[in-house]
């Protein structure tokens, strides 16, 4: 019954496109899309920002501000009640969040730009009121600038993070997504589809492909719903609200201009996907020239101030974490020693920055002669030619080892590697020399930064990822390093350690 219904639906769409009835594989789901979800989502965030700012200022007023300090005074003006001053600050703060476009539909819920604009808006408000207080000699509590605003910024960032978690959950259920058509040549359309579907929270639901390739009924499992000349009919028939344009020789500038006009008339979205993959937003800049929307791509350089900032963060972070986790490390060491004889710490040669070898520290989670058995185990499961040496259902792991590996407690001694500078808190995981020997030219780019205790692929799937996916994520990190990304990975690492889930082994 479901199959016959699908065939009938495909026939209806084919008729609406002016084509012959399509085969069952060309069925496109028919449902009305909520095209206004970005506006509704931004509206919810606006209410959330209002609640956060009001709560922070009220907490400052009744918990921090002394009862004796009720008015803001200044020599050449009247006394102003603190309630009025705080209300004015709250209004300016909310206006700044709008002026700095922190709720722009193109950045909200994704990327680092949203957080960066939050910081810039709050700094601007801070600078405005500090300048006014200084030049007019207004007596204002220092706690307002040293406590209320920093706490408010942290609370705003935290609330936006919670909204992102909510949005990701909705998008995993195919809600709050753009229904998109991919327009272009089959090979390039397939590349875009694969890239978008690698992440279940990309925000796009690919419902069809528009291409002039003859004889193609589908690309992958996505139906071909029309040719370039019928893109708008396909958009209407599939209830799509977005067209993603891939490169195609037949898509000339006049066609792109007309396509943009037609999409705008439908209040839709036109997205141009250049032949660039795994490039983060901050590296991409629009640079118009001679009427052409040129895209300038910056190359990452982790040097100078950036390298110093990362090393400083690693130094202070490792010291703090060693102090915090020292009781856990002590208990782990005792448990290992009680279960099996042998050394508690295990020092394994790994390849680090620039191909230099160093000794990576770990709590021993395997039997004494584990390294001698690795080659035979890899050969038995047929993965000795992959640069990622992973043994499924590894028999060498001890009982205590399974527990500490599941929660990544065996990695804690690497904090001392971070302290001495051979590793970083965040970076590509260091590999054995035998694994590095299997690298191709692309994989060698992993060695351009210090290896890390945690990395992007560790928090994106852990033991379930293939070498190709792990390499792609590591190269993305190397090519798009940022301090904010490091912080996000550390937060996700903490979540993965507390609740490891089924992907941890």
Instruction: Delineate the domains of the chain, giving CATH numbers in brackets.
Output: 37-172 (no CATH), 177-275 (3.40.50.1980), 305-498 (no CATH)
Torsion region of 244: left, alpha or beta (phi above 0 gives left; psi -120 to 50 gives alpha): beta
Mark 380-419 as b/e (b = at least 16 C-beta within 10 Å): eeeeeeebbbebeebebbbebbeebbebbbbbbbbbebbb
The helix/strand/coil state of 395 is: coil
**How much is the pTM?**
0.63
Mean pLDDT for the stretch of residues 63-85: 74
Contact present, 365 and 348 (Cβ < 8 Å):
no
Res 9: pLDDT: 41
Is the per-residue pLDDT at 328 higher than 70?
yes
**How far apart, in whole angstroms, are the C-alpha atoms of residue 345 and residue 130?**
53
Q: Could you tell me the pLDDT band of residue 307, with boundaries at 50, 70 and 90?
A: confident
Res 326: pLDDT: 92
DSSP string, 143-193: HIIIIIHHHHHHHHHHHHHHHHHHHHHHHHTT-S-EEEEEES-HHHHHHHH
Is the per-residue pLDDT at 29 higher than 50?
no
Region of poorest pLDDT, from 245-259, 306-320, 452-466: 452-466
Res 50: pLDDT: 94
Res 1: pLDDT: 39
Contact present, 388 and 374 (Cβ < 8 Å):
no
Mean pLDDT for the stretch of residues 133-138: 77
Res 416: pLDDT: 94
Pick the most confident of 108-122, 270-284, 314-328, 338-352: 314-328
Whole-number percent of the chain with pLDDT over 70: 76
The helix/strand/coil state of 139 is: strand
**How far apart, in whole angstroms, are the C-alpha atoms of residue 159 and residue 165?**
10
Contact present, 210 and 240 (Cβ < 8 Å):
no
Q: Which residues contact 480 (CB under 8 A, 6 or more apart)?
A: 278, 279, 280, 282, 283, 300
Of 67 and 503, the structure prediction assigns the larger pLDDT to: 67
Res 391: pLDDT: 55
Q: pLDDT tens-digit profile of 206-258? A: 889 888 877 778 887 888 888 888 889 988 888 888 888 887 667 777 888 88
């Amino acid at each position: 019954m479901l199959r016959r219904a699908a065939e009938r639906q495909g026939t209806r769409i084919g008729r609406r496109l002016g084509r012959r009835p399509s085969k069952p594989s060309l069925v496109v789901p028919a449902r009305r899309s909520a095209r206004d979800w970005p506006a509704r989502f931004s509206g919810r965030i606006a209410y959330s920002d209002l609640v956060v700012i009001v709560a922070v200022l009220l907490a400052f007023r009744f918990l921090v501000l002394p009862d004796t300090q009720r008015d803001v005074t200044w020599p050449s003006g009247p006394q102003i009640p603190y309630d009025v001053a705080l209300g004015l600050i709250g209004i300016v703060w909310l206006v700044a969040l709008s002026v700095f476009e922190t709720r722009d539909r193109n950045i909200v819920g994704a990327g680092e730009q949203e957080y960066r604009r939050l910081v810039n808006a709050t700094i601007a408000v801070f600078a405005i009121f500090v300048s006014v207080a200084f030049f007019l000699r207004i007596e204002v509590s220092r706690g307002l600038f040293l406590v209320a605003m920093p706490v408010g910024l942290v609370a705003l960032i935290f609330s936006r993070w919670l909204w992102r978690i909510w949005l990701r959950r909705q998008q995993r259920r195919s809600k709050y997504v753009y229904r998109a058509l991919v327009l272009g040549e089959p090979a390039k359309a397939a590349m875009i589809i694969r890239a978008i579907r690698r992440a279940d929270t990309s925000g796009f639901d690919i419902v069809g492909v528009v291409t002039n390739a003859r004889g193609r009924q589908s690309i992958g499992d996505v139906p071909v719903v029309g040719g370039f000349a019928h893109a708008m009919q396909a958009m209407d028939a599939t209830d799509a609200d977005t067209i993603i344009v891939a490169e195609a020789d037949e898509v000339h500038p006049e066609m792109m201009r007309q396509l943009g006009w037609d999409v705008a008339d439908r209040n839709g979205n036109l997205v141009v996907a250049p032949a660039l993959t795994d490039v983060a937003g901050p590296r991409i800049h629009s640079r118009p020239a001679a009427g052409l929307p040129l895209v300038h791509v910056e190359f990452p350089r982790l040097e100078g101030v950036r390298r110093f900032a990362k090393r400083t963060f690693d130094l202070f972070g490792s010291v703090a974490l060693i102090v915090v986790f020292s009781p856990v490390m002590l208990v782990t060491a005792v448990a290992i020693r009680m279960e099996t004889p042998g050394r508690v710490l295990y020092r394994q040669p790994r390849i680090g920055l620039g191909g230099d070898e160093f000794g990576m520290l770990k709590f021993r989670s395997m039997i004494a002669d584990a390294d001698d058995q690795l080659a035979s185990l890899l050969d038995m499961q047929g993965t000795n030619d992959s640069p990622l040496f992973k043994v499924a259902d590894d028999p060498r792991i001890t009982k205590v080892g399974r527990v500490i590996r599941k929660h990544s407690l065996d990695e804690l001694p690497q904090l001392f590697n971070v302290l001495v500078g051979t590793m970083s808190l965040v970076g590509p995981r260091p590999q054995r020399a035998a694994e590095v020997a299997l690298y191709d030219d692309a994989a060698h780019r992993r060695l351009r930064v210090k290896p890390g205790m945690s990395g992007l692929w560790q928090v994106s799937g852990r033991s379930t990822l293939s070498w190709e996916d792990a390499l792609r994520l590591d190269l993305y990190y190397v090519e798009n390093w940022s301090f904010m990304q490091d912080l996000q990975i550390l937060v996700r690492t903490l979540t993965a350690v507390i609740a490891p889930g089924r992907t941890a082994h």
